[in-house]
């Protein structure tokens, strides 16, 4: 499974890259606004930081076909690794088709059902982003939607898309995503950091080091 960071925070991306655990970045208007930055300068900086081989999703703000296509062309011109995020509303699916025909890489966002994922994949979206956490918030199973999309993609070779498990809220979402066929998980930095954590690792490391130190002290004293 590839790990994307779901953030527009440059320091978090730098840390993820330093760990060798950032295969790409996704943003949305909320995440960019949280950094208090204009979309274009934030996305350009992130694209340069991660390098040309790691995709960076930048979302459109328009909600009509022509506006989305215009914004998609603009975002795609910012860097070669920009992926344009378009919502799976009817105008969005139309725009996905137009943009993918132009060679622009699309990430279909705000996916909450397998039906929406099917529409986006048929329109040429390269990435399908089911929002797992937000689905769980309303008492549905976001992971079940991931499972359905993964089954659908396995059945139809012509649907050439990858699942980005989005709206991941905790480590459990990442782990379950690996079992359900998500190709990528995009996660907040906090979740990436939590993946390292286990109390027995800390206790075990402390014991290994103190046992060895004790033996060295004994030898030193002898
Ligand atoms: O970027 C889309 C998605 O990952 C947002 O997550 O936590 O705001 O539901 P969240």
Q: What are the pLDDT digits (tens) for 29-63?
A: 999 999 999 999 999 999 999 999 999 999 999 99
pLDDT at 198 over 90: yes
Q: What residue ranges in the chain does DSSP mark as E strands?
A: 2-6, 24-26, 56-59, 82-87, 106-111, 127-130, 162-165, 184-187
**pLDDT at res. 65:** 98
- pLDDT (tens digit, 9 = 90+) per residue, 122-139? 999 999 999 999 999 999
- CA 38 – ligand 1 centroid, Å: 19
In the predicted model, what is the mean pLDDT of residues 146-172? 97
**pLDDT at res. 221:** 76
Q: Which tokens belong to 30? A: 């909320």
CA–CA separation, 62 and 77 (whole Å): 17
- Active-site residues: which are they? 85
Output the residue whose Cα is nearest ligand 1's atom 5: 167
Instruction: Decide: 2 in ligand 1 pocket, CB within 6 A.
Output: no
- CA 168 – ligand 1 centroid, Å: 7
* Mean pLDDT, all residues of the chain: 97
Q: How many C-beta atoms surround the C-beta of residue 209 within 10 A? A: 10
**pLDDT at res. 159:** 95
Q: What is the DSSP string of 74-114?
A: HHHHH-TTEEEEEESSHHHHHHHHHHHHTT--EEEEEE-SH
Output the residue whose Cα is nearest ligand 1's atom 4: 167
- Atom of ligand 1 at shortest range from CA of 186: 4
**pLDDT at res. 4:** 98
- pLDDT (tens digit, 9 = 90+) per residue, 72-115? 999 999 999 999 999 999 999 999 999 999 999 999 999 999 99
Pocket test for ligand 1, best of 88, 137, 167 (most atoms within 8 A of CB): 167
**pLDDT at res. 200:** 97
Q: What are phi and psi of 107, to 5 degrees?
A: -115, 115
**pLDDT at res. 113:** 98
State what percent of residues in the chain have pLDDT above 90.
99
- Atom of ligand 1 at shortest range from CA of 166: 4
């Amino acid at each position: 499974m590839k790990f994307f960071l779901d953030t527009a925070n440059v320091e978090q991306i730098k840390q993820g890259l330093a760990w060798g655990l950032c295969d790409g970045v996704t943003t949305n208007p909320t995440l960019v606004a949280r950094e208090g930055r204009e979309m274009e300068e934030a996305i350009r900086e992130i694209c340069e930081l991660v390098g040309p081989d790691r995709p960076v999703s930048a979302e459109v703000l328009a909600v009509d076909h022509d506006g989305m296509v215009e914004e998609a062309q603009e975002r795609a011109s910012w860097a070669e690794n920009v992926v344009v995020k378009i919502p799976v509303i009817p105008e969005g699916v139309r725009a996905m088709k137009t943009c993918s025909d132009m060679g622009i890489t699309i990430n279909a966002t705000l996916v909450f059902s397998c039906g929406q994922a099917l529409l986006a994949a048929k329109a040429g979206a390269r990435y399908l982003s089911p929002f797992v956490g937000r689905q769980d918030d309303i008492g549905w199973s976001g992971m079940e939607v991931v499972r359905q999309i993964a089954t659908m993609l396995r059945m139809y070779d012509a649907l050439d898309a990858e699942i980005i498990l989005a709206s991941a809220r905790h480590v459990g979402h990442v782990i379950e995503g690996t079992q359900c066929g998500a190709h990528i998980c995009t996660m907040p930095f906090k979740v990436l950091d939590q993946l390292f954590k286990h109390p027995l690792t800390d206790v075990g490391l402390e014991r290994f080091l103190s046992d060895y130190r004790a033996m060295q002290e004994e030898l030193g004293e002898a």
